[in-house]
Structure 1
């Protein structure tokens, strides 16, 4: 049973592009609260599942969720990038799923510090073993480094101005909470709520979260490594939630599709990203930025 309050994004599209009715092993590299994984196992009694996540708290919940399928499931607390290092026979893999978004559990837990709408510590760690927190970055990065971070990972127009203000203010009072930071962002960016306009704090929090968790590190290399390891017919499905990740996935799948430099390893299943329907966005507003891309090993 999927945990109450958690809605898997693009569920039917994921199952379709994974072709998840086939017998074999499916890997969920970012299992979260197992919304997609449960449906794969429930609908296909011949499916086995390998699930990975760096979030220990989420994995504790997932173990309960997947109890009915325990004989077909193996779970690991690990970053999906370490999947190639696992002692595992990749010849049985039929599909690999990466849902690169945050789970409702993470967003709705103020103590994790992911949401600027709730007051909590400036943490943002997916893996609580990680020593780097958002507070540490905001409190110690130089003005140029903060500006680069907000511009590169948050695509924030006022990146330099915000970095300057943060450095000036932290000399007087440290930024302890998400609300402390949000208030400064709103002041610097002259935020006035408007329908359809993205809150600048969303961009800054995205940038900090990417930096804390090193979310972009090795994504393309991981997909290329796995493409060489899995058998023909195995499918990759990746859901991204911001343009930086989507760009990496798009370019990696294009490279794996072959060209002048190397023969093709995969064929694209999605020429353009698959987006949520209007109905899904109404039912689950957090799905709005999702983009799904898929490819198949040849």
Structure 2
């Protein structure tokens, strides 16, 4: 399958990595391979590992990047970064890139069930081999659980009402498709509240996708594990796409930047805690107007960069 993939904040993240010719780099979210390709063009005498849990992404990247003999594709979840590097016999790396969220090609493949713009089976699994899909969340969670997921991960004001409508509809029949779910969400949100802003199903679909793939649960530990594997001076670049992700990245970076974590009332430091990360940009880098004009999916993206000390 052919698809158009535009990597978000590409120039800014590649510049942020400070790539050395002989360095070892990891693209922890291989996706369409856009960032990986640019890293490979610069790390000509080094090694680049691309990690993804999606078979389609792995196979597509292998074909797209076959000109490079220093590229390694590895199927896994990025939360397993330490295990992946151990398996490859790699102790330390010089940079790591995370482009979080759902990939363009996943959104553009109707059968994957990520998009509210297509009528398709409820799926949303980034790793097709995992058992739990969006179908299980929508048809299996009770009203309280559904409301919590939609409110917490989607930051949806109408979460309780949407959950109630889902329960009522599934008592008649299972909710099998994205189209069915969209129609339920539109019925649940009052017409007056649907006039402005993004698609009414966007927040709920985001929430269910995050729940299915446990995206936020693994994020903080993954960032800490990645920083532990960086060489001194190595860089970590993380692109997030919504406030929940960015909040976790920001707080983890700030914590890793702290020298002392003793309570304020202690007269002197007794923790021996030393900072691991220097913040390269205290405020996130966002897309410029030119990129926003070319790629609407970049609109909410934020890039944070740190350097191992």
Which band: TM-score by shorter chain?
over 0.9
Q: Where do residues 1-298 of structure 1 align in structure 2 (5 Å cutoff)?
A: 5-69=4-68, 71-86=69-84, 87-191=87-191, 194=195, 197-261=197-261, 262-298=273-309
Q: Bigger radius of gyration, 1 or 2?
A: 2
Provide the rounded CA distance (Å) in 2 between the counterparts of 1:91 and 1:17: 22
Deviates more, 1:144-153 or 1:43-52: 43-52
After superposing on structure 2, the runs of 4+ consecutive aligned residues of structure 1 that deviate more than 3 Å are 88-92, 191-195
Q: Is contact 1:24-1:92 (8 Å) kept?
A: no
Provide the rounded CA distance (Å) in 2 between the counterparts of 1:89 and 1:206: 36
Provide the rounded CA distance (Å) in 2 between the counterparts of 1:68 and 1:191: 53
Q: Is contact 1:49-1:73 (8 Å) kept?
A: yes
Q: Quote the offset at 1:229 in angstroms.
A: 2.5
Q: Give the secondary structure class of the aligned counterpart of 2:67.
A: helix
- 1:8-57 CA-to-partner distances (Å, cap 9, x unmatched) read 11010011110124421110011001001111112442232011100011
Provide the rounded CA distance (Å) in 1 between the counterparts of 2:304 and 2:207: 23
Q: Quote the offset at 1:173 in angstroms.
A: 2.0
- 1:215-253 CA-to-partner distances (Å, cap 9, x unmatched) read 012211121122223210110000011111111100000
Structure 1: segments with no counterpart, 5+ residues: none
Provide the rounded CA distance (Å) in 2 between the counterparts of 1:205 and 1:31: 23
Provide the rounded CA distance (Å) in 2 between the counterparts of 1:155 and 1:227: 29
Q: Give the secondary structure class of the aligned counterpart of 2:226.
A: helix
Taking structure 2 as the reference length, the TM-score comes to 0.91
Q: Is contact 1:113-1:120 (8 Å) kept?
A: yes
Alignment partner, residue 264 of structure 2:
none
Provide the rounded CA distance (Å) in 2 between the counterparts of 1:296 and 1:89: 23
Q: Give the secondary structure class of the aligned counterpart of 1:234.
A: strand
Provide the rounded CA distance (Å) in 2 between the counterparts of 1:76 and 1:187: 43
Q: Give the secondary structure class of the aligned counterpart of 1:31.
A: coil
Q: Is contact 1:150-1:156 (8 Å) kept?
A: yes
Aligned length: 294
Q: Give the secondary structure class of the aligned counterpart of 2:307.
A: strand
Q: Quote the offset at 1:259 in angstroms.
A: 3.8
Provide the rounded CA distance (Å) in 1 between the counterparts of 2:276 and 2:145: 38
Q: Give the secondary structure class of the aligned counterpart of 1:273.
A: coil
Taking structure 1 as the reference length, the TM-score comes to 0.95
- RMSD between aligned alpha carbons? 1.5
After superposition, the Cα gap between the structure-2 partners of 1:149 and 1:40, relative to the gap in structure 1 and judged at 3 Å, is: same
Provide the rounded CA distance (Å) in 2 between the counterparts of 1:109 and 1:288: 21
Q: Is contact 2:30-2:52 (8 Å) kept?
A: yes
- 1:146-169 CA-to-partner distances (Å, cap 9, x unmatched) read 000000000010111111111011
Q: Is contact 1:90-1:231 (8 Å) kept?
A: no
